[in-house]
Structure 1
Amino acid sequence: MAMTEITKAVIPAAGKGTRMRPLTNYISKPMLPLGKKPVLQHIIEELKGAGINDIAVVAKSDDQKMIDYFQEDASVQFIFDDSLSGPGGAILKTESFVKNEDFIVVFSDAPLKGTGRSIYLKDLISLKKEGDVSGVLAIYPIDKEEVSSRGVVRFDLEKSRNKKGIRLTDIIEKPLETPVEPWATACRYVLDNKIFEILKETKHDASGELQLTPAIRKMIKNGEWILGYPLAEKLTRHDTGNFEGYFKALRAFISS
């Protein structure tokens, strides 16, 4: 299979920020300060470090602070979405930007801290480019208490594709059952553009949002190869989407 260059990234950043109110009544969640810069800038710098310079941020049309902050960054363009339809809905808005290419999705509340984050992302991209697979997901072990708020993955090490990537056998958004040793996505996905057609057929959840996880699950259940790639040991995935995670991230990024 010929390798195709992956040059585009999508960052869903148009969410409600409900769990971070009242802060997000005044500033959107991706623009919350983390060290000396907003959360979103840390993620964009990670992408640029991996050689990705064509980045679409899906934002609310009235998020003027975000628009103004990145207006001079030629790598960043905005696609507006006021539908509050969840990450899957935001990704669907980028179909004409992505066109027929493979692309990266990084969530706007999941910064990585540690050395080599862009090198890890490059490896994630390489796994997708070099393998005949439909997607590669960053994955990491989580505490059992986190299972109810994560996209939890399952895999069988005996069915590993190669030394780096592990074939996923399932992915479930906020599962009711807790695995013995739970692993979850680290909110970095390298995907085929066929995900758009699958998202269009995917049902919205109980809160009216379209999630990415059920679409990826459908790909797995259809027999497509989706690989998980464990987060490098020196990297920590932070969650700035809730107060506890945000305060933990503030301490970790204090001088960044």
Structure 2
Amino acid sequence: MPEQRVRTAVVPVAGRGSRMGPLTSVVPKELFPLGRLPVLHHVVAELVEAGIERVVLVTSPGKAALNTYVERVLVPAECAPAGVEVRLVRQGPVPGNGGAILTGAEHADGEPFLVVWGDEVFVGPSRAAALLECHDVTGLPCLALVEVGDDDVPRCGIAHVQGPHGPYVRVGGIVEKPAAHEVESRLASVGGVVVDAGLLAELRRTPPGPDGEVYLSAALATHAAGHPVLGCLLASTWHETGSPEGYARAFVAVARTEGLLGLPDDLSTVLTERSAPHP
């Protein structure tokens, strides 16, 4: 059992959402509707249900609409009734998702914390609960993994696994956004990770990539080379909403679970297939 349980979740929501432009110049992508609720509402509701006590939303200038929704709708509807604290904080000077995580780590009281992305949702069993259970059982950093098809490989960090570690797998490294022919694995690192002190220290040492940004995937790859990092295979279905085709598929999937489409299964399948990226 770990000495410290995970009480805090860090959710980076500072991205510009350029792939969803021009609408994202006015409406943050995290507020795009999925069924009855926007994307971010689904994410935070899952965290609250999993038992998270503090949610740190790492944002950026130009997202006043997101702040307003959080304060006026999300907190009263989901967080306050459950006694969950929500903090909206501005990302610090380090760019990239690694910088957002470093900013959020300042609000975790030196404890391990969960990172999930503000534009990804899961249909099915809770990925947050699965990651928290993995850490509760092992006390190690835990990474959410889902099996993806060839079309999704170039959009994901792909994990190289080294065999079983109890009910989990040992992650030996991550290749960021490879071509499908470059990797044998189809296990994508999506949805989140439990960050402990060792992984956080590695992230602080991680240099920027060629684009000048610091990435969690780079820190994970380095840390996994010398320390145990576990992969938790999720039973749920992953959806990213940061691209038009991903958002379209996510909307259909969530709307169907909420009974909103009123369409026969074959027509829903057609809509989903039409939203898929063309080869």
TM-score by length of 2: 0.82
How many angstroms apart in 1 are the aligned matches of 2:64 and 2:200? 28
1:84/1:23 CA distance change after superposition, 3 Å:
farther
Partner of 1:194, secondary structure, is helix
The one-letter code matched in structure 1 to 2:243 is N
Q: How many Å apart are 1:96 and its aligned residue?
A: 1.9
Q: Are 2:230 and 1:227 equivalent residues in the alignment?
A: yes
**Equivalent runs, 1:211-226 vs 2, <5 Å:** 211-221=215-225, 223-226=226-229
Partner of 1:156: 162
Contact 1:144 1:178 in 2 (8 A): no
How many angstroms apart in 2 are the aligned matches of 1:254 and 1:131? 36
Q: Are 2:189 and 1:179 equivalent residues in the alignment?
A: no
Partner of 2:172: 169
Contact 1:61 1:81 in 2 (8 A): no
Contact 1:3 1:129 in 2 (8 A): no
How many angstroms apart in 2 are the aligned matches of 1:170 and 1:184? 11
Q: How many Å apart are 1:58 and its aligned residue?
A: 0.4
- Richer in helix (by share): 2
Moved more, 87-96 or 174-183: 174-183
The one-letter code matched in structure 1 to 2:250 is A
How many angstroms apart in 1 are the aligned matches of 2:96 and 2:244? 20
The one-letter code matched in structure 2 to 1:174 is K
**Equivalent runs, 1:47-62 vs 2, <5 Å:** 47-62=47-62
Partner of 1:107, secondary structure, is coil
Partner of 1:41: 41
Contact 2:145 2:233 in 1 (8 A): yes
Q: How many Å apart are 1:20 and its aligned residue?
A: 1.1
The one-letter code matched in structure 2 to 1:97 is H
RMSD between superposed Cα atoms in Å: 1.8
Q: How many Å apart are 1:208 and its aligned residue?
A: 2.2
Q: How many Å apart are 1:66 and its aligned residue?
A: 1.1
Partner of 2:115: 105
Contact 1:153 1:171 in 2 (8 A): yes
Match of 1:210 among 194, 210, 214: 214
How many angstroms apart in 1 are the aligned matches of 2:233 and 2:245? 24
Q: Are 2:58 and 1:63 equivalent residues in the alignment?
A: no
Indicate the structure whose relative CO is greater, using CA pairs within 8 Å and at least 6 residues apart. Answer: 1
Measured against aligned partners, the alpha-carbon deviations of 1:111-148 in whole angstroms (never above 9, x if no partner) come to 1112x32xx43232122122142x10110111122222
Q: How many Å apart are 1:82 and its aligned residue?
A: 7.1
Q: How many Å apart are 1:181 and its aligned residue?
A: 4.2
Q: Are 2:151 and 1:145 equivalent residues in the alignment?
A: yes
Partner of 1:239: 240
The one-letter code matched in structure 2 to 1:32 is F
Q: Are 2:195 and 1:197 equivalent residues in the alignment?
A: no
| Identical residues among aligned pairs (%) | 30
Q: How many pairs were matched up? A: 246
Measured against aligned partners, the alpha-carbon deviations of 1:142-174 in whole angstroms (never above 9, x if no partner) come to 1122222101001122xx110x21011111211
Q: How many Å apart are 1:99 and its aligned residue?
A: 2.6
1:183/1:195 CA distance change after superposition, 3 Å:
same
Partner of 1:125: 132
Partner of 2:88: 78
How many angstroms apart in 1 are the aligned matches of 2:170 and 2:148? 19
Partner of 1:10: 10
TM-score by length of 1: 0.89
1:15/1:84 CA distance change after superposition, 3 Å:
farther
Contact 2:173 2:222 in 1 (8 A): no
Structure (1 or 2) with the larger CA radius of gyration: 2
The one-letter code matched in structure 2 to 1:63 is K
Moved more, 1-10 or 174-183: 174-183
Q: How many Å apart are 1:200 and its aligned residue?
A: 2.1
Partner of 1:101, secondary structure, is coil
Q: Flag structure 1 segments of 5+ consecutive residues without an equivalent.
A: none
